[in-house]
Structure 1
Amino acid sequence: MLPAPAPGESTPLAVPPWYRHLYVQVLVAIVAGVLLGHFYPETGAALKPLGDAFIKLVKMVIAPVIFLTIVTGIAGMRDLASVGRVAGKAFAYFLFFSTLALIVGLIVANVIQPGAGLNIDPATLDASKVASYAEKAHETTLTGFLVGVIPDTVFSAMTEGNILQVLFVAILFGVSLAMIGERGEGILDLLNQFSTAFFKLVALVMKAAPIGAFGAMAFTIGAYGVGTLANLAMLVGTFYLTSLLFVFGVLGIVARLCGFSILRLVGYLKTELLLVLGTSSSESALPALIEKMERAGCPKSVVGLVVPTGYSFNLDGTNIYMTLAALFIAQATGVHLSLGEQLLLLGVAMLSSKGAAGVTGAGFITLAATLSIVPSVPVAGMALILGVDRFMSECRSLTNFIGNAVATVVVSRWEGALDRERFNAALRGEMPRVDEVAPEAIPAQ
């Protein structure tokens, strides 16, 4: 029994049993899914609807959560110049580190050369397997992407669930609400109440995370098999190693320069990272990331702008994958790329990675878009990695997720708005977990 608190002290939080922790439940579900998929592959493959249903549940709340977070954050700032300043800093960060991720993938591919020695004749590859991805790639031109940011109606952005369209409408509405000043106070208060209710809904949805992770992992192993990795182990291993190097090397240095440990941040987000691993989708943890970064002392205005925008423009894992996979295909098919051709590949990848933002399976589609513009590398070569793309998708999602968490902290610090006391307490594990405290109990920023 806990001792009674002294006068003036708060009652300490009761620590729940270990099996009540969401991250433990998700971890157990992932292991169970792997075992079921391995020993009973047909049963595992049949459980795909469980993972799909959970991701649909999360996507159901993503649009309103982003809208409410951005609108209340911007309207609460009042100073519109600060909104532009935050956005400018965020995009400068995204551009630099997204480009750096592409360069890292290019360098590693040249040094390790995972595809060297395979000597595969492109004429023997089945191009029909990647035809659908190539078609989607042609649909995601830069011009089409920019026009596609604008929804048909204000409400269609919410109903279609396009993150960039929701972001566009939310920024415009938030700025409009800020411009009318006191007359908008009533609307702002109402939206804050809606925000509280939706984050409670997020907490309810997250209780189904272990079921979703179990179904998604059972399907992945059951449908593709662990043995699928053996044929292309060099590529998969190189990609995972490069992503680890980027997260704990590059982002680790950024974190150290900003006064925090990347390991502690990863520990703070362990539940969400396990969820991303289990579902192979970083979107499944987007609402939880928004809430956790606010709880850790990042202001709502920064979180609301950086996190949703980063999900489309700060795809570190996807960018590493694109240059690494492109050079793997070139090496495997015996295509020698000159330095100029590799720089062209880099430039095209920078544009195409933005053009397919928000598209399901964006990593594979952006790769198809890049290869279709660089004629030296055969698009049909993508058939070589189609079988293991699902396994690399998990690493892409994890790297993207961590990259956006770091970006949120960095931009908050650049703004001088990071609550260091709350942030350090969160990283030390001294704050209530996100699944234990209702959003209304979280102090306002």
Structure 2
Amino acid sequence: MLDLATELSAWAEEDRDFAVATVVAVGGSAPRGPGAALAVDGDGTVIGSVSGGCVEGAVYELCRQALADGETVLQRFGYSDEDAFAVGLTCGGLIDILVTPVTARSPARAVLRAALSAAAEGEPTAVARVVRGPAELLGQALLVRTAGEPGEAHGRADAEGPGRADGAMRAGAVAYDGGLGGRRELDRTAAAEARAMLDAGRTGTIELSPDGSHCPDGLTLLVETRVPPPRMIVFGAIDFAAALVRAGKFLGYHVTVCDARPVFVTRARFPEADEIVVDWPHRYLRRTGTDSRTVLCVLTHDAKFDVPLLKEALRMPVAFVGAMGSRRTHAERDRRLREVGLTERELARLRSPIGLDLGARTPEETALSIAAEIVAARRGGTGVPLTGSGTPIHREAGEREAVAAA
């Protein structure tokens, strides 16, 4: 749902009634993961997608029905080969979809609108919804966000019944809006779990019992998170960098271009970059913010820039460090980095020459090869053609970790 926050927040501001279908869980080769959403308003306007086309028609009808009767429903779609008229996933997977009406009659309307507004404004946001459990709790929602913390609690989350978003409670250090049926201990546990997933930028399900303890026979909550986009920092204002900026933006990164030469790093050359920085790369990297999702692409291939920059970069807990250059350039760079004290473990993190072997020649082709390697590193892909490979097309988290460790 939060992946449609901008559009749905606008619908909420216009006081439109709408229903939103959200992917809760997938199995096998399902095309989209948990959190993917499709929404339908009272006029039949539809936005988003939950399956890449396989079950969209049936989900659309479920949304229309939810708008008519006000009921939250959980629906499973599976493989449909045995019945030519059945609705299902031709890819052979399973998909569970939660359909929630957001109307004046909806108990969670206020908290869902608050969640959409916060996410649309760029606040780190998590919303937990009951997807399995007692019928009276299905669709109840709780919102966790980091804006305004720390602070004193104000109001009562359940002062006027569950789903109120105009009051807030605190679970230890976690502030939350709304609630799950007025069950205080459950709210506190759910808020803490949602905050942990927000800190990790993860979307998925958790199992709780009605009293708030972990128990697979209790409630299932879908926790969706929305965090600011990850950073891509491109060092080196060359023609290849302009193409990589466009690729980075396409992949959803907040892209910065940094170069020490003001004549090259200009807004005219990089109109699509979010930030243009004139500074020595290593000095800028020391002072800027990075995290475990940050991607660093070093395109300078000049030792006076590369060595001090990579010395910093390879000792930082970022997601990806890649450097451009020929194999000869890489060998010389490797020698220099060893001379300044980098260890074998640190050097093993460097992806150089950067990019997958696509036979790229042009800046655009090279940017594509770099972007492909970044995606493979992030998702645990191998980079080999799917034809004849026998590897899963869509990997679960455990499979990605196994590939990364191999």
Give the TM-score range, shorter chain.
Answer: under 0.3
Instruction: State the TM-score, normalized to the length of structure 1.
Output: 0.20
| Larger relative contact order (CA 8 Å, sep ≥ 6) | 1
- The structure where strand makes up a greater share of residues is 2
